[in-house]
Homo-oligomer: A and B are copies of this chain.
């Protein structure tokens, strides 16, 4: 090794000894007679001092050429810092290294992105991505990747202790049934044939259950050829698992334990188990969304029956059309949102497709007050206020529409207001389950006009219905709820899974409802369906989004901040500079090699 210690190792107990350190020049201060350098590596920062008498004059002279991000090896005497000069921000901040030997290991050009914590300004993202090797030296990025490693390791250990086997499934394989666009890989060996990159290891892990592996886990890379977004990359990582001879409750119990362990290990938080579970129907009723943020209240109240009694035409006509009048009551919202604030919320609602935004302010006396107040009797307003639990200075916001549009609007209002009014502790972590999703939904938009109005699978066509809903496959598919469960963290879906169908008769009915005929099923899922005929055990699983979990545990907003080498939005600008894409010249060369 070129060093005896790292830059985070030395303590007062090392005083009086000799040490050799290697690292990067984080910052330097010339004090006339000598130089102070903060030497940095992954483990910390140590102050190294070039001063007489420890440092020979030739080395003091040489040290004057050192610049930011130069890589050096220094040997010297470990000494306590002078009284009052300790820097307790750093683990090695009580000592300094008085240099006796210096070796320049490498120079650096002037860095366009400064890795030093002493530079507080965060460079713009394009520069960060272009000079990723410098950006990755920044403490925030190092924290993210170390956190990612810690979470991955914690998960792997957890599952290994429970007897899960880590099995690698192919990257080059067949198309999987997720429905996003596949990346295709032309094969030279089988000319004219293509592999598909997996959108998930779904089919492979089901085959592993059929093959008797009982408990499978994998940190699996998955791919979707879709546009980039702040929370989506074309390649992403899943903690993917599957179990045999279990039911939905068993999967959730296993993941409960994982979340408790990770929260404790990573954040020092105690999480009570079991994590709360809420049905999809309840989530939509109370929060208007299937991934509700439970860090704060502000739940939806249904006022349809009361609205039917008012004289406000917008409300009564919606009720007559079979729609709903629902509202959220924002605590203290009337104080927070002025007339202009309400205007902004109304604009926001219009952006989501609403015609306007009806509201009541709650006055000091607890009474509802609004420009639409005249359409409501005092009794009605009092009844509404009571049902809403409205208190002085609250703000009541309405949505009057068909069920799903009211969900959409009120969920988004609740989310926006939660952020704007800081209704929750940003450091709080809230874990819960949403369960029993509908098996089927009616297709609304599709490139294929024949599909519109037909049933489509809310998860995938192998999802099992609740035992008591199997009968509804025949008489009322819309009523069928699935053995499906999503893990929700702070209002984000952090993972989801299902129990799979292992009964060929049920599978056949589900394919029938989805309009998948026998030939199509054999074409698309033949190798799984065949496997199911040779002794498939009851089985199910779940996949957690690792990128999302790291973002949530680490408090990061952008997925690119938890990935070492992300794809960039401006890929065409950065293509020849940043790791990521084949550039035009390479392409030509490679295309010739592969006969493309």
Contacts and interface: CB of A to CB of B under 8 A. Distances in A.
Interface of A: 1-3, 6, 22, 24, 40-43, 69-71, 73, 105-109, 111, 115, 131-137, 142, 145-146, 148-149, 152-153, 156, 160, 165-175, 181-190, 193-197, 203-204, 207-208, 210-214, 221, 223, 225-228, 234-235, 237, 244-247, 250, 502-503, 523-524, 526-527, 530-531, 533-538, 563-565, 567, 571-572, 575-587, 590-591, 593-594, 596
A188 B181 contact: yes
A193 B142 CA distance: 31
A581 B190 contact: yes
Given A136-B213, A586-B524, A594-B182, A172 B535 contact: no
A588 to B, nearest CB: 10
Nearest to A160: B153
A58 to B, nearest CB: 22
A211 B134 contact: yes
Given A193-B587, A246-B1, A41 B184 contact: no
B111 A565 contact: no
B24 A184 contact: no
B69 A534 contact: yes
Contact of A536 (B40, B43, B71): B71
Given A70-B535, A187-B234, 20 more contacts: A1-B245, A2-B538, A22-B537, A106-B537, A108-B535, A115-B212, A133-B210, A134-B534, A136-B208, A137-B212, A152-B166, A153-B166, A174-B580, A181-B594, A183-B195, A185-B185, A193-B582, A195-B582, A204-B564, A204-B579
Q: How many copies does the complex hold?
A: 2
A541 B41 CA distance: 19
A105 B190 contact: no
Given A71-B535, A535-B70, A564-B204, A172 B524 contact: no
Contacts of A194: 582, 587, 590-591, 596
Given A535-B70, A590-B184, A594-B225, A149 B169 contact: no
B183 A172 contact: yes
A150 to B, nearest CB: 9
A537 B108 CA distance: 11
A193 B565 contact: no
Given A42-B213, A133-B207, A225-B189, A536 B197 contact: no
Nearest to A182: B590
A175 B564 contact: no
B185 A165 contact: no
21 contacts: A2-B538, A24-B212, A41-B214, A42-B212, A109-B534, A137-B212, A146-B165, A153-B160, A167-B564, A168-B564, A169-B565, A174-B581, A175-B586, A181-B593, A183-B195, A184-B596, A189-B571, A193-B582, A193-B584, A194-B596, A203-B579
